[in-house]
Copies of this chain bind each other. A is one copy, B any other.
Amino acid sequence: MATRSGEKSEVDQSGRPLGPRALNTRRRLLDATVELLDSSSVRDISVVEIARRAGTSPATFYQYFKDVGEATLRLAEEAADEVPAVLELIDGSWRGQKGMQTSRSITDAFIRHWDAYRAVLLVRNLAADEGERRFQKVRRRALHPILESFARKIEECQPDPVASGDVHPYAAAAALAALLERLAAYHKELEPIGVTREDLVENCARIMYQTVTGRLAPSANG
């Protein structure tokens, strides 16, 4: 569960840089936080329990984080680092069946990303939606590249200038991002209603294809 990444000069609550022992403690605290986030509601996560689970004391927690929110923020930053993988897919081919395949891959990858970081991303989005700047910033960092890529592709793929007049690339890209995000957060609740993940991916992919290319999605069978 511990995500190693190029953390350069992490810092104490009082600004002092962290040695190896401290780094390790910090990691344990973050991991404990995810676990709790995964298994219970944000509202009743306590510093005491994070500390307990990390095998340390509450006082130690405050050495590294201002509060639970800040720990969560760090986790959200780690999640944002994983996005680029999804990104590359957008630059694939968008012609005909190939395009549909690209569409499907993106949708699938995005949902997988969400399934992996679900709890953290939910909290991130809530905090961002509630207006917390720090969280809006991480979300932008994660989503903007996707927005940009989509917008670029949309501009490039629209059939002709007449139709393009109606399409605002950024707005359309934002719509796609919104669609992906909500669907990813959502999909498990739909299966009981008789909508499989596959159905969802397929239909989401069709929408994506049509929005990017401005053309109707080709039929699946030939």
| A contacts, CB < 8 Å to B | 41-43, 68-69, 119, 122-123, 126-130, 132, 136, 162-163, 165-168, 170-172, 174-175, 178-179, 181-183, 185-186, 189-190, 193-195, 199-200, 202-204, 206-207, 210-211, 214-217, 219-221
Q: Report B-chain residues with C-beta under 8 Å of the C-beta of A190.
A: 171, 174
| Cα–Cα, bound, A202→B174 (Å) | 12
With A178-B182, A189-B128: A200-B171 Cβ-Cβ less than 8 Å: yes
Return the contact of A126 from the options B68, B122, B189, B203 (Cβ within 8 A). Answer: B122
| Cα–Cα, bound, A119→B220 (Å) | 41
Return the contact of A186 from the options B178, B215, B216 (Cβ within 8 A). Answer: B178
Closest residue on chain B to residue A220 by CB atoms: B166
Q: Report B-chain residues with C-beta under 8 Å of the C-beta of A204.
A: 171, 175
Q: Report B-chain residues with C-beta under 8 Å of the C-beta of A171.
A: 190, 195, 199-200, 202-204
Closest residue on chain B to residue A69 by CB atoms: B43
| Cα–Cα, bound, A122→B182 (Å) | 12
| Cα–Cα, bound, A179→B130 (Å) | 19
| Cα–Cα, bound, A129→B211 (Å) | 27
Closest residue on chain B to residue A139 by CB atoms: B189
